[in-house]
Amino acid sequence: MLTEQNYWRCISNFNFQCCGNLSPEQHYPSMTRFPRGSSPEDVLSSPQGKAVFSVTGMTCAACAGSVEKAVKRLPGIRDAVVDVLNGKALVRYFPSMVTEERIREAIEDAGFEAKSIDEESIKEKPFQICRIHIKGMTCTSCSSTVESLLQAIPGVQKSQVALATEEAQVHYDPKIVTYNHLKEAIEEAGFEAILKSTGEHISKIELKIEGLKIDQSLREIHKSLQSLPGVENIDINQEMKKVSISYKPYMTGPRTFIEVIESSSGSGCFRAMIFPDGGERRETLRQEEIKRHFKLFIWSLSFSIPVFLASMVLMHIPGISHVLDMKVVNNLTIGLIVRWEFSTPVQFYIGRRFYIGAYKSLRNGSANMDVLIALGTNTAYFYSVYVAVRAALSRDFMGSDFFETSSMLISFILLGKYLEVLAKGKTSQAIAKLMELTPDTAILLSLNEEGNNVTSEQQIDSRLIQKDDVIKIVPGAKVAADGFVIWGQSYINESMITGEARPVAKRKGDMVIGGTVNGNGVLHVKVTRVGSESALSQIVRLVESAQMAKAPVQKLADRISKYFVPMVIMLSLATWVSWFIAGQLHAYPESWIPSSMNSFELALQFGISVMVIACPCALGLATPTAVMVGTGVGATQGVLIKGGQALEKAHKVNCIVFDKTGTLTVGKPIVVTTKLFKKITLPDFYKFVVAIEVNSEHPIAKAIVEHAEKAAEGDEKNPTWPEARDFVSISGHGVKAIVQDKEIIVGNKKLMQEHNIVIPVDAEETLAEAERLAQTGILVSIDREIAGVLAISDALKPSAKEVISILNSMKIKSVLATGDNWGTANSIARQVGIETVIAEAQPEVKADKVKELQTSGYTVTMVGDGINDSPALVAADVGMAIGAGTDIAIEAADIVLMKSNLEDIIIAIDLAKKTFSRIRLNYIWALGYNLLVIPIAAGILYPSTEFRLPPWIAGAAMAASSVSVVCSSLLLKNYRRPQKLNNLGLNGIKIE
């Protein structure tokens, strides 16, 4: 089996054996180099590190290539990905060979500023973590036994069992083992297992501490915090008076940290508060960057306008032109001196960033936008200096300067960068809006010991909320954290999270999501998930991760950008030389040469125009801006798309494989028919059935109990049921017990036959009819005589049939793959209009079918919600997980449908198509612009029209191309769901 480690080992061995087949294009090592005295196996088996850096100063794809190259040159680098749009670099490395600090220095040596940042959203999770509540343990021997059993299961990395809390925390590989396997192992050991949570949820909070004076205080605070249960890591920055704490939010929380810090000093000299959050700091940094670019542009413009006026406008105004033409020394005029003086600060002070960037880029063996700008402006400036010096030294020399070209060119480029930064900030507004959903404050309630009366309430910062807190949600307020209602009733508008516009009724026991808006009722909510565990945090992490992921099509732009700058420089030189030689050979009439120039200056102007107008900045922005906006729009529509690769594949989908339960169906069984075959009243019948089924955890049993309770609500508010004795659950068949001295058996046909119970013909016909209608027939026997049949149905989702019909109209093939029997599967398929059916399919069979369809030429999407769908979700070109499904299914999927609505499949595909169309349009803007304008800048129209593009206008056009690409991507924010979905309703209600 070729594991990831084996793959890298093979690559490394391939490099070391010097086979002679290495790509000639690779001028720097992109694979891991190993230190002398260590083997590849030793290093590759050692722990790996990951670092995320904030990189400032990158302007285009060539810059990103420079950073990537500089990092990959270091020994011990596993992989490096650079995101020029967000200014981030993700580096995987071997700590035994290279340090995070060394990587940062390499980036700075390449000419950029780098700062290490925390990036929880992109942490890989090779192992899932689940917490299991274990009943029945009485001593340490019990806990040790369970721990050893779990540790011995293949796929389990680590298990910890705590007797005091009766909990097990298990790190396991979901591709090898599932929670059901863990549960079975615990139950086989004689204990009861109940899943509490899955997924590793580690939150981080930063606190500001006032009163810190000596190192002893720091040690006391560190020791006090470290002793708290659930605290994973503590980092104290004395200079900033800041402490960063990583913790498990289900065990402790920030209010506890503040109390511990403030009590660490007996005199109470310490005071702790929440440090300004990362979102605020990120926005502050973005605003500072915008201000910096605007300030540079204004300063550049203030110096460039006098140069432009002196060379283009004032020369034609009588009186002023006479002053400007006054000679100071020989032919050196006042106007020339003015232009020289005003253009110099622009060239060397305001424009020094281009020198620095160009130098560092060339030093690392690459060329970026700064190289083109530095070459173009320096050529114009120093030629103008040459003209000024010659004029001062000669009475006969007549020449034209290009001071306005260099200064105006820098001004327009700075304007373009300012507009670009301004526009790029808007592409990530989706995350900002999501993070703003959580309210700033919350009302914390204190309850009495019995927990039934409120003793006090106080307003606190919402970031101080901890698990198991009780908070009050007043009418019109936002819900501050995930939890369930313990008192009150109201309607909650969940559209900000799910995209569903219809308010959802909430009463005692119902779950609420942080960030949603309460209606007109007061609710008391017990908090269940905070910090990284919350639904909103998980959504934000998915969106952030998606926006950093590169689309495969972006690789084309990266390759083009790599060779584009050298090609532009060569083209510029060729343009200049061609026009100059043509002028020297009198290949064109002298009338073509403007009166203020000679042939050399005309050729030089053409060459500079080509150099500055062909910058590949727009090309590097074409894909990431569209992906950022597209994934952000998807999040607001309730569709979480995990990056550019998922978008690129989704737009090609022509076959969708559907799971049945929880995907095409609601996933919640309900009783649809009750037929009696014995003289007994319906209430008495249900009295016996519920008395036995209330002891079972099976979904069908719960459906029967819920149906009976609803039916009984009209007679009595809280119905009571008889006690069942000698309860026995027969796995896969049913249950039996003694109720009021009667033997009650509830189950399937096979269970009745095993107990020699005769099934009447009418009952047989009812069972057959139920199967024909895709229902599950449940027989009920009272004292070994069939008393009735219950028909249980997992209803189709209201929109299932319409969605399949729309997919058919889109020429997308639909396939049903389910583990249910053929009768139920065929019936469901007929109802929704699916022709291809795969029934009684195990997880590996679903995955094999996906691969078979791919082999047949289909681009396949798998839509599922369960653990058993994970292999198929991974095997498919695009995996779509229903938002209400399991954590493992969501983790395996490329797209998550948060609302669990089938019509979102169409939205996801449609959004992917529109985003990819926008990417194509951006490439047309970028490449088409260059292909069209470069010949014009080179003077192709000059012979026929005498139209030429001055270099400073070429610079403005170059800046405009980048802004136009970003604005083109921003138009995706106007995305509207397909018109064909507007009349598609859920539960008979039209969705607007």
Is residue 714 exposed (0-12), middle (13-18) or buried (19+ Cβ within 10 Å)?
exposed
Instruction: Report the alpha-carbon distance of residue 311 to residue 406 in Å, rounded.
Output: 13
**Residue entry with tokens 């939205």:** 907
Please state the φ and ψ torsions of residue 41, each to the nearest 5 degrees.
Answer: -65, -40
Instruction: Report the alpha-carbon distance of residue 6 to residue 9 in Å, rounded.
Output: 5
**Contact between 409 and 952 (Cβ < 8 Å):** yes
Is residue 255 exposed (0-12), middle (13-18) or buried (19+ Cβ within 10 Å)?
middle
**What are the tokens at 393?**
């030294």
Kindly state the DSSP code that residue 315 receives in the 8-state scheme.
G
CB atoms near residue 979 (< 10 Å): 7
**Residue entry with tokens 């938002």:** 883
CB atoms near residue 256 (< 10 Å): 18
**Contact between 356 and 374 (Cβ < 8 Å):** no
Contacts (Cβ under 8 Å, ≥6 apart) of 521: 475, 488, 489, 490, 491
**Contact between 635 and 543 (Cβ < 8 Å):** yes
Instruction: Report the alpha-carbon distance of residue 50 to residue 877 in Å, rounded.
Output: 27
Instruction: Report the alpha-carbon distance of residue 954 to residue 960 in Å, rounded.
Output: 10
Q: Quick check: is 469 catalytic?
A: no
Instruction: Report the alpha-carbon distance of residue 553 to residue 547 in Å, rounded.
Output: 15
β-strands 128-135, 167-172: how paired?
antiparallel
Beta strands in 806-932 (DSSP E): 813-817, 836-838, 860-864, 878-882, 895-897
Is residue 522 exposed (0-12), middle (13-18) or buried (19+ Cβ within 10 Å)?
middle
- Of the CA atoms within 13 Å of residue 483, those in its CB half-sphere come to 26
Beta strands in 150-269 (DSSP E): 156-162, 167-172, 192-198, 203-210, 231-237, 242-247
- The alpha carbon of residue 361 and the mean position of all alpha carbons in its chain are separated, in whole angstroms, by 31
Please state the φ and ψ torsions of residue 540, each to the nearest 5 degrees.
Answer: -60, -45
**Residue entry with tokens 């396991």:** 172
**What are the tokens at 612?**
């500055």
Kindly state the DSSP code that residue 521 receives in the 8-state scheme.
S
Q: Catalytic one among 469, 482, 659, 794?
A: 659
Q: Which amino acid is at 541?
A: R
Instruction: Report the alpha-carbon distance of residue 731 to residue 846 in Å, rounded.
Output: 25
**Contact between 607 and 580 (Cβ < 8 Å):** no
The candidate with the shortest Cα–Cα distance to 233, out of 204, 264, 213, 254, is 204
Is residue 419 exposed (0-12), middle (13-18) or buried (19+ Cβ within 10 Å)?
buried
Instruction: Report the alpha-carbon distance of residue 383 to residue 600 in Å, rounded.
Output: 11
What are the beta bridge partners of residue 116?
Answer: 53
Using only the alpha carbons of the chain, give its radius of gyration: 35
H or E stretch covering 844: helix 843-855
Please state the φ and ψ torsions of residue 902, each to the nearest 5 degrees.
Answer: -70, -30
**Residue entry with tokens 């005029």:** 333
Q: Cα dihedral sign for 480, 481, 484, 487?
A: negative
**Contact between 93 and 80 (Cβ < 8 Å):** no
Q: Which residues are catalytic?
A: 659
